[in-house]
Structure formats: structure tokens, C-alpha cells
């Protein structure tokens, strides 16, 4: 059964938004792992299988864009969504697959995630 | 005995700037066939301290005259071969000796005296024998003094002429120098009549020197203060000087901003003599500075908007998620779930407004150079499906290569709003016309780009005109947020531009035109050629459906 549920690694330095996002994603039918920093996310990726990374952009230490670059160097096939509260795409964001605004709401987030996942499956 | 004053060739400056001494010796030529008489004259005249030259015949005398500068000829009248009068005649014929003083020595014959009187011109005198030493000395001394004075005068004259020549050369150089200056330099008299106009002024204003000299400056150039930069006249007349920026018109009707420096020059009697003025064209410099300032402000505003958006969006996402989870939580009854759902919907509206007002997705932190026609083409492409569906015919008139600094997405949003409104106003087809051109904002004098978006749609009711740009005002009932034009206006104001509209209701149908003015770097080429085509600059060039 676990294979049917895609695993999403959710990265954010703020605990409350992260836990709420985890609940929403679980309700939407995903299996969710969380990390509070880019470094922690990279560690998790070494230990566990992940189908998609949903990362915040502005974080202390590794930023979301930097994390995306690190991940793509190790796992080029792993899809990454940059998730941001800033209405602005950073110049080094091209390592991520999709840029998504935080305030689009769960429906839009869900649609984006399934689209990215289905594209990744096609490529695989 | 050099006698520099008598050289026939032009003098070198050293020679005639040499100061003339008051008692430089002059040459006195004494002519008599009897050496004893010459000797006695010598004795008498010795104490005058002049140079005494002796000749025993007229021929010898002429030889001396040709070699030396002779001030006075003292001659015996009765000599063999050529007598004193004949010698005098020969001397006078030579132009160099016209003014040489001649003193005749003769016996008391009436005939001689009469002949002497015949020499009306030139310094001529006579003295009778027996010679009275004091009388001879006195007469010679007077002529010697006269000669010295005349030579001094001549030297002074030459010096003066030389100085005039030098001064003329200096002035010519100065005039050449003034023509080298790229600044416009002009002089006008108390009545404002132009008296001097350098080539810098010809270049800047397009008026030739011959065309403006003698005309009043206000008939040639229209002069306006730049911004509200002090008052010109009081400063100039109270302090004699004025500096500041002015707006001047050129021959081809362009308006330029000049940094002007003016000074009063009074006549000797204290009355106003002339106004000197130097003007430098700073139009391009100001435009560049303006563009930089605007770009900096845009960047700062972008940073602030980004920070605010971040601070609002992060908690907003958490709340939206919380309401989403609440919405169908099993522990809540239907009424509570409905409240949660309403809360989520309203929060999504807040998120939408935040996204629209605090910046679109921007490609870059820094404003970049934008081509307005490119942006418009981009928007037209986005709307192309609507044009087909509603059978809207699109006309494009792009008449500028001008660019401006900013964020392409913001401008895209402005034009998308305006074009989408136009499309929605023409559900049954019509014509949409886009016109972009260089222009100067008539109210501020700023150069920039004007974009006119005309449609032949349903038009705007005059009762709605005032509220059109207010937030949450919509004529599209439930379809619109009422934010489109308000946001567009906000963006345009951020760029220090303006937006206006006009709606006409005619029997044949109605027409609406939105005109957006955005300050920017004008593509000089286009503007100049248009100005030559006698297009009145500064006229609001929007809304001109007839053109």
C-alpha cells in the first residue's frame, strides 16, 4: 500500500506552517516527511525514498534554491517544487521544476503536485 | 647715428616700443660754401648739445640728407652752383623731407625775405647776417625741440597702432575661442536685443548668427522656468548674476533644459549695458538622472513589497491550511464546517489581493530596460483566443523605439487589464487599436512614451467616470474584482506616469480610449523627425481618434 502513496519531503524552517502543510498533504493522500532545514532535508534524502521535494525558499542556512541545486546534483530525476511566500522568482531558481506561491490554496497545491509527479513518472 | 624713426620699412616691435628719451640728440645740417662760416655756426650751436653735420655745397648736403635723419637744415642762401633756395626746393620735393626744418641765412634783401615767405608749408625760417648768436641758437633750439616732439608723437602713434593691432588679434582669438565652446554664448543689450551669438548657440538653438543678431531674444527663444526654480529677474538685477535651469525652445520647436549662467554688465555711467549669458544643454543628463532615480525607487519599492508579501503570505498559508483542515473535520457539525469553508474562501480572496497589490511574480529584483511594443505584443498573444472568439480586429501602430526602466510583468499586468477590459466591452466584435509613440507630458515636460488603447465597445457611462480608478469599483457585477484599473493606476503612478481615458457616445456607436503615459528614454531620432514635421510638441497626443 505504501507504494501507492507518493512520498513528499516538505522543507520549511517554520514549525507551525510546516505541520499544517503536512496535515493538508496527508489529507490529500500523500505520505509526508518533514525537515526543518536544507541540511536536514539532504540527510533525509540519503536515508529514505522520496518522490517529490516541496521546499520553502527563504530559510536560514541553505535557501530553497540552493537546496534544489544540491539535490539535482545528486538526484537529477527527483522533482522539486519551490514554495514561496515572496511573489518573486529568484535568479537561481532554475534548478527547481516548478515555482509555486504559498497562498494559492490546497486545491492549487494539490493540482501542481500531481502534475509534477505524473511528468516525473513519464520521464522515469 | 641711427635714426630709427625714419626708416621707411615697417618697424619691428622692439624698435618702436623703445622709450623715446626727451633729449636724444638730433642732427643739424649746416650748409655754407665758406668753411669759416661753418666753423662760426659750429661754435655758436655747440652749446645746444646736438649733432652738428657740415656740408660745403648743396650736393654734399643732399648726400648727408639721404644718409642721415636730419632735423634742421641751416643753409646759406648765396652759394655757387646751387643756392640755398634751390637746395630747399630739392629737399621739399622729397617726401621724406617734407617736414624738415630749413633756416636760411642771408643778407637783408627784401627779395630774399619775400621768397622765404613763399614757403607757406613746413618749418621755414630765416636769419640775417650778421648772425646774432643768441637768435640763431634760439631758432635752432626751437626747431630741434619741435623735431623731437614730432618724433615722440610718431613713435607713440606707432606704439598705439601696434597695440590696437595686438588687441584686435586678441579679440579675434577670444571670439574664435567663444566659437570653440560647446555652450551657447550670447550677449544682449538692455532692451534684450541680441548682439553676440556664438556657434554653440547656433548649434543648440538651430538659429544662425545672421538670423538673430539685432532681434530681441524673446522673439527667438521662448523661455520658461524649469520646475519652480526661483525668479530670474530680481536676482539678476539685484546681484548682477544669476544661475539656474531654464526651459528654452529651439528653432524646430523642441523644448530643451539648459543650465544657464547670466551676468549683468553695466556701462561706465552705471546704466545697464548688456546681459551676458552662457547656456549648457542638460536635457539628456536630466533624463538619465531621472531614469536612474526612478529605477532606484522602483527597486526600493520592490524590496519593501517583497518583504511585506513574505510576512503576510507565510501566516496566511498556515491559516488557509488550517481552515481547509477544519472544513470537513469529522468532529464539527455542518454549520461549523460551513463557517470554516467561508473562512477559507475569504482568506483566498485576501491572498489574491495581496498577490495583486504587493507585486506580481517578478523575474528580477532590479528594473530592466523594457520595450513597450514587445510587452504589448506579448499581451496580445495571451489574448489572441479572445480576439478570435469575439471577432475583434486588432490594429497596431508602433511608432517608437523608446525604452523605459521597470519590471516587465508589472507593465504586462497594466496592459493586460486594459486590453482585457476592451475585449470584454466588445462581446459582439469591434476594433481594438494600440498606438505607441514618443511624447512629452504636457504637464511636467517629462519625455516618455504614450500608449493609447482604443476600443469600439460599449463605452463608459459618464456617471462611472469618477469612480473608475477606485478600488473595488466594478461595472462587471460579480465578474470583476474591481481592482484591475486601481492596480493599473497604482503601477503607472509608481513609474511616475499617468493614465487617462475618454469615452465617446456617438450615433454610430461608442468608442473608448485609454491613454497611458510612462516616462522613459525617448528614441531621439524619432522625436526629431516628428518635430520637423511640424507636430506641435507638448500637445496631449492621446485620444486623437481622427489622426
| Residue in B314, B325, B362 closest to A23 by CB | B325
- pLDDT, residue B539, reads 36
C-alpha–C-alpha distance, residues B401 and B408, integer Å: 16
Partner B, chain A 104-123, Cβ-Cβ below 8 Å: 104-106
Please determine, for residue B68, whether its predicted confidence score (pLDDT) is greater than 80.
yes
Minimal-distance CA residue of chain B relative to A103? B317
Minimal-distance CA residue of chain A relative to B355? A87
List pLDDT tens digits, range B492-522: 888 888 998 888 877 777 888 999 999 876 5
B537 confidence band (pLDDT: 50, 70, 90):
very low
Domains and CATH numbers, chain B: 4-162 (3.40.50.2300), 182-281 (3.30.450.20), 286-357 (no CATH), 368-532 (3.30.565.10)
Look-up: residue for cell 485576501? B350
Partner-chain contact B314 A87, CB within 8 Å:
no
C-alpha–C-alpha distance, residues B485 and B492, integer Å: 10
B482: its cell numbers: 474591481
Tell whether A28 is within 8 A of chain B (Cβ): no
8 A C-beta contact, residue B275 and residue B325: no
List pLDDT tens digits, range B241-258: 888 889 999 998 888 999
List pLDDT tens digits, range B277-317: 999 999 888 878 877 777 777 777 777 777 777 788 888 99
**Complex prediction ipTM:** 0.87
> What are the φ/ψ torsions at residue B252 (nearest 5 degrees)?
-85, 15
Instruction: Give pLDDT < 70 ranges for chain A.
Output: 1-3, 86-94
Q: What percent of chain B has pLDDT over 70?
A: 82
Minimal CA separation from A17 to chain B, in Å: 5
- What mean pLDDT value characterizes chain B? 80
Domain A7-123: homologous superfamily in CATH? Response regulator (3.40.50.2300)
8 A C-beta contact, residue A15 and residue A36: yes
A-B Cβ pairs (cutoff 8 Å, strict): 82
The side-by-side arrangement of strands in the sheet containing B70-76 is B51-55, B27-31, B70-76, B101-106, B124-128
Which is higher by pLDDT, B216 or B3? Answer: B216
8 A C-beta contact, residue B397 and residue B333: no
> What are the φ/ψ torsions at residue B57 (nearest 5 degrees)?
-150, 165
C-alpha–C-alpha distance, residues A72 and A63, integer Å: 14
What is the pLDDT averaged over residues B19-24? 60
| Residue in B325, B362, B365 closest to A87 by CB | B362
What is the pLDDT averaged over residues B450-469? 82
- pLDDT, residue B121, reads 53
| Residue in A23, A27, A103 closest to B351 by CB | A103
Q: Is B110 helix (H, G, I), strand (E, B) or coil?
A: helix
Q: What is the maximum alpha-carbon separation in chain B?
A: 163
Q: What is the DSSP string of B412-450?
A: HHHHHHHHHHHHHT-TT-EEEEEEEEEEE-TTT--EEEE
B536 confidence band (pLDDT: 50, 70, 90):
very low
Amino acid at each position: 500500500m505504501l507504494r501507492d502513496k507518493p512520498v513528499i519531503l516538505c522543507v520549511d524552517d517554520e514549525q507551525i506552517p510546516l505541520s499544517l502543510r503536512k496535515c493538508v498533504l496527508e489529507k490529500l493522500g500523500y505520505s509526508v516527511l518533514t525537515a526543518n532545514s536544507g541540511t536536514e532535508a539532504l540527510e533525509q534524502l540519503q536515508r529514505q525514498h522520496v518522490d517529490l521535494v516541496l521546499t520553502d525558499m527563504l530559510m536560514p542556512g541553505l535557501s530553497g534554491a540552493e537546496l534544489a541545486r544540491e539535490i539535482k546534483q545528486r538526484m537529477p530525476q527527483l522533482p522539486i517544487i519551490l514554495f514561496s511566500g515572496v511573489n518573486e522568482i529568484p535568479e537561481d531558481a532554475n534548478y527547481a521544476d516548478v515555482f509555486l506561491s504559498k497562498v494559492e490554496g490546497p486545491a492549487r497545491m494539490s493540482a501542481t503536485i500531481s502534475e509534477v509527479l505524473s511528468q516525473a513518472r513519464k520521464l522515469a | 647715428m641711427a635714426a630709427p624713426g625714419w626708416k621707411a620699412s615697417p618697424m619691428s616691435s622692439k624698435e618702436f616700443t623703445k622709450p623715446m628719451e626727451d633729449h636724444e640728440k638730433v642732427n643739424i645740417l649746416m650748409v655754407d660754401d665758406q668753411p669759416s662760416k661753418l666753423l662760426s655756426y659750429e661754435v655758436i650751436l655747440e652749446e645746444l648739445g646736438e649733432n652738428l653735420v657740415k656740408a660745403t655745397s648743396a650736393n654734399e648736403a643732399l648726400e648727408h640728407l639721404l644718409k642721415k635723419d636730419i632735423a634742421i637744415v641751416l643753409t646759406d642762401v648765396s652759394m655757387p652752383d646751387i643756392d640755398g633756395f634751390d637746395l630747399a626746393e630739392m629737399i621739399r620735393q622729397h617726401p621724406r623731407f617734407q617736414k624738415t626744418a630749413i633756416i636760411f641765412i642771408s643778407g637783408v634783401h627784401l627779395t630774399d625775405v619775400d621768397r622765404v615767405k613763399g614757403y607757406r608749408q613746413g618749418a621755414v625760417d630765416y636769419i640775417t647776417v650778421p648772425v646774432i648768436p643768441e637768435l640763431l641758437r634760439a631758432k635752432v633750439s626751437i626747431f630741434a625741440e619741435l623735431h623731437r616732439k614730432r618724433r615722440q608723437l610718431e613713435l607713440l602713434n606707432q606704439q598705439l597702432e601696434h597695440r590696437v593691432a595686438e588687441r584686435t588679434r586678441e579679440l579675434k582669438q577670444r571670439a574664435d575661442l567663444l566659437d570653440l565652446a560647446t555652450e551657447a554664448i550670447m550677449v544682449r543689450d538692455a532692451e534684450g536685443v541680441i548682439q553676440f551669438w556664438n556657434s554653440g548657440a547656433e548649434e543648440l538653438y538651430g538659429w544662425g548668427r545672421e538670423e538673430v543678431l539685432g532681434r530681441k531674444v524673446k522673439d527667438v527663444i521662448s523661455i520658461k522656468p524649469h520646475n519652480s526654480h526661483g525668479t530670474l529677474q530680481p536676482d539678476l538685477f539685484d546681484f548682477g548674476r544669476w544661475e539656474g535651469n531654464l526651459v528654452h525652445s529651439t528653432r524646430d520647436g523642441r523644448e530643451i533644459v539648459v543650465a544657464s549662467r547670466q551676468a549683468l554688465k553695466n556701462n561706465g555711467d552705471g546704466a545697464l549695458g548688456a546681459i551676458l549669458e552662457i547656456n549648457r544643454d542638460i536635457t539628456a543628463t536630466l533624463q538619465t538622472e531621472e531614469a536612474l532615480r526612478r529605477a532606484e525607487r522602483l527597486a526600493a519599492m520592490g524590496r519593501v513589497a517583497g518583504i511585506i508579501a513574505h510576512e503576510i503570505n507565510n501566516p496566511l498559508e498556515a491559516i488557509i491550511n488550517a481552515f481547509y483542515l477544519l472544513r470537513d473535520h469529522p468532529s464539527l457539525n455542518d454549520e461549523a464546517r460551513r463557517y470554516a469553508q467561508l473562512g477559507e474562501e475569504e482568506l483566498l480572496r485576501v491572498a489574491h489581493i495581496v498577490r495583486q497589490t504587493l507585486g506580481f511574480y517578478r523575474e528580477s529584483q532590479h528594473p530592466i530596460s523594457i520595450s513597450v511594443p514587445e510587452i504589448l505584443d506579448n499581451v496580445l498573444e495571451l489574448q489572441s483566443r479572445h480576439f478570435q472568439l469575439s471577432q475583434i480586429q486588432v490594429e497596431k501602430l508602433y511608432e517608437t523605439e523608446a525604452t523605459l526602466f521597470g519590471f516587465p510583468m508589472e507593465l504586462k499586468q497594466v496592459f493586460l487589464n486594459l486590453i482585457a477590459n476592451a475585449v470584454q466591452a466588445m462581446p459582439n466584435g469591434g476594433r481594438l487599436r494600440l498606438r505607441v509613440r514618443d511624447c512629452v507630458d504636457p504637464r511636467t515636460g517629462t519625455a516618455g512614451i504614450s500608449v493609447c488603447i482604443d476600443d469600439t465597445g460599449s463605452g463608459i457611462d459618464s456617471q462611472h467616470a469618477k469612480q473608475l480608478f477606485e478600488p473595488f469599483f466594478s461595472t462587471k457585477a460579480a465578474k470583476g474584482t474591481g481592482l484591475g484599473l486601481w492596480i493599473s493606476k497604482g503601477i503607472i503612478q509608481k513609474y511616475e506616469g499617468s493614465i487617462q481615458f475618454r469615452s465617446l457616445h456617438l450615433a454610430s456607436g461608442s468608442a473608448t480610449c485609454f491613454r497611458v503615459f510612462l516616462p522613459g528614454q525617448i528614441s531621439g531620432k524619432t522625436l526629431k523627425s516628428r518635430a520637423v514635421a511640424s507636430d506641435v510638441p507638448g500637445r496631449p497626443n492621446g485620444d486623437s481618434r481622427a489622426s
